[in-house]
Amino acid sequence: MAGIRFARLGLLAFFGAASCLTLEAGDLRSVSVATDRTIELYLVDGHIIHYGLRGDWDGRGNTVFYDPLDTAAAETPSRYAITSADDPEFARAVVPSRVDRKSRVIDVNSTSREPKFIFGHWIYLTLPKALKSGKTYTLALDNVAGNVQTYRLVMDPLRHRSASIRVNQVGFAEVSPKYAYLSLWMGTGGGADFSPFYGKPFTIRRFADGAEVFRGTIAPRMDAAVQEMGDGVGNLTRAPLWQCDFSALSTPGEYVVSIDGLGCSYPFEIGNDVVREPFWYGMKGLFLQRGGIVRELEPGRIYPRGHHGDDVPWLYLPEVTKIEISSEQDLKNGKPLRGCYGFYHDAGDWDSYPSHSAVPLALMLLYSLAPDCFADGDVGNRYKLSQSDPRWIDEGNNGVPDILDEAGWLPASLRRLRKALIDAGYSDGGVPSYVGRDAITWTGSYGQGMLPSWEDRRAWAVNRVCGEATMRYAAMAAWYAHCLNTLHQRNHRQGPHPQAREWIE
């Protein structure tokens, strides 16, 4: 939503006047050039302020700004007119020759109340004449969008982002193959036709100043009918695919792909450290999925610990072999355990499965392939064992590459649990198939909702040890010992790492 209308309705929502506020029409979010004869409009039906902590996950606590698009009006060519003061071809208003649409869900409200979903709509205006780079156009919308009636479109090949130019946003290593792609599926309009661009030039330009650093030609890559998978739908884009090969460019920097008549791509980087940022986010995401500790989100903000063995009972269930427990009845013969905490949360739940071993195994493989690329302090995660503990455990300053700190989290959790089972006489060294519980609905003085992990005080289930989970643990432990030995040797130390033997005993 936009402007005064949004502010007024936001005030109503603040005072709780309504949980669903209905407006007049879908709002225009963006305008892009799809082809030199096609303009893409993106409109949305509204947005949702979600319930947040302790809210009900069926949407009762949501505030919904609902703004449904009149799709019949949006698909009517006469509702649009394009003019230009500097392109004589558009001196008189030009009406689209056809209008196409694709729509999909962009947010979910509820399974039991309206609106169940919020839709986004992409409208494609096909013009009888081509747009030209360097020209400015005015698009008039006759009551299609609720927030604007006109839009000024500047065809700047260096700054106007085209919906059709795709390039890897992670970036490219200096010596890697480098491609950008032209492709767009337009819903009822099918795949966009870029055959007029065959053999035409594309340029790579510095994002900062627009200077051209590379020039190549556009070439076909894959026809829409090519079967990438056995589902009979053609390639996965459902549209013809064209490519811009700039593999010969290796100079580090930030660039855009620019095509005359279309515009440019999002900026991207070339450099040998381009994966550093996505690596950081991925590692931070894994860290925040850890259970049983106080995690530092950022300086001054924490994620409280949940399901630590000092806070909730951990019970071993030697007769339960199924993957999950279904009720409190499954816990009636549980045997107490001590000294247990850790593991990873699973999606929206708190439980841990043998399949979680894929996380440390992938991290150990990554380290083993390129140990020189990882160092202590790459991520800098900090945690402590309890809120009252004054000491932070700083994984960014412990002499171990942060990737190995994360790789060791799940094996260490299993090792603690394995020791607790042995000490209690419940096991001779096996590892359980399942640890934890599903998330829980909650009813209390604040209403009804979903409990955060640190307020869940139910008993924690540890199912019977099994061969598969034990073999996975053995593989993780042995490989982690190997990674520690690799680190030890890289630090020019003799013999095995001091902690390596602990992992293979």
Question: SS in 3 state form for 273-322?
Answer: CCCHHHHHHHHHHHHHCECCCEEEEECCEEECCCCCCCCCCEEEECCCCC
C-alpha triplet 12, 443, 287: angle, nearest 5°: 85
Task: Quote the radius of gyration of the chain (alpha carbons, Å).
Answer: 29
Give per-residue burial for 380-418: e unless 16+ CB within 10 Å, then b. Answer: bbbbbeeeeeeeebebeeeebbbbbbbbbbbbbbbbbbb
What's the token pair of residue 163? 């919906």
CB atoms inside a 10 Å sphere around CB 300 = 6
Distance CA 32, CA 264 (A): 10
CB atoms inside a 10 Å sphere around CB 305 = 22
Which range, of 165-169, 211-215, 320-324, 471-475, averages the lowest pLDDT?
A: 320-324
Report the chain's mean pLDDT, rounded to a whole number.
90
Which residues, other chains included, contact 374 with Cβ-Cβ below 8 Å and sequence gap of 6+? 366, 367, 401, 402, 403, 404
Confidence tier at 10 by pLDDT (50, 70, 90): very low
How far the first Cα of the chain sits from its last, in Å, is 62
- pLDDT value of position 56: 65
Q: C-alpha distances in angstroms, 52 versus 26, 107, 434? A: 25, 15, 29
Contact by Cβ (8 Å): 129, 36:
no
CATH architecture of 276-504: Alpha/alpha barrel (1.50)
Q: Running DSSP on this structure, what letter comes out for residue 149? A: S
Per-residue pLDDT tens digits for 291-341: 999 999 999 999 999 999 999 999 999 988 777 665 677 888 899 999 999
Which range, of 50-59, 88-97, 236-245, 409-418, averages the lowest pLDDT?
A: 50-59
Which residues, other chains included, contact 68 with Cβ-Cβ below 8 Å and sequence gap of 6+? 25, 26, 45, 46, 115, 119
Distance CA 428, CA 358 (A): 25
DSSP string, 355-400: GGGHHHHHHHHHHHH-GGG--TTSS--EEESSTT----EETTSSSS
Per-residue pLDDT tens digits for 191-212: 999 999 999 999 999 999 999 9
- pLDDT value of position 19: 47
% of residues, the chain, pLDDT over 90: 77
- pLDDT value of position 227: 85
C-alpha triplet 441, 444, 450: angle, nearest 5°: 25
Q: Which residue has the higher pLDDT, 223 or 14?
A: 223
pLDDT over threshold 70, residue 1:
no
The alpha carbon dihedral of 334, 340, 345, 349 has a sign of positive
Which phi and psi (to 5°) does residue 243 adopt?
Answer: -130, 155
The reply to whether 3-154 and 165-270 are identical in fold is yes
CATH C-level class of 165-270: mainly beta
Place of tokens 């689209």: 96
Q: Running DSSP on this structure, what letter comes out for residue 185? A: B
Query: Bridge partners of 251?
Result: none
Nearest of 101, 51, 94, 104 to residue 73 by alpha carbon = 101
Nearest of 274, 490, 284, 471 to residue 368 by alpha carbon = 490
CATH C-level class of 3-154: mainly beta
Distance CA 50, CA 58 (A): 10
Confidence tier at 232 by pLDDT (50, 70, 90): confident
pLDDT over threshold 90, residue 288:
yes
Domain spans of the chain, in order of start = 3-154, 165-270, 276-504
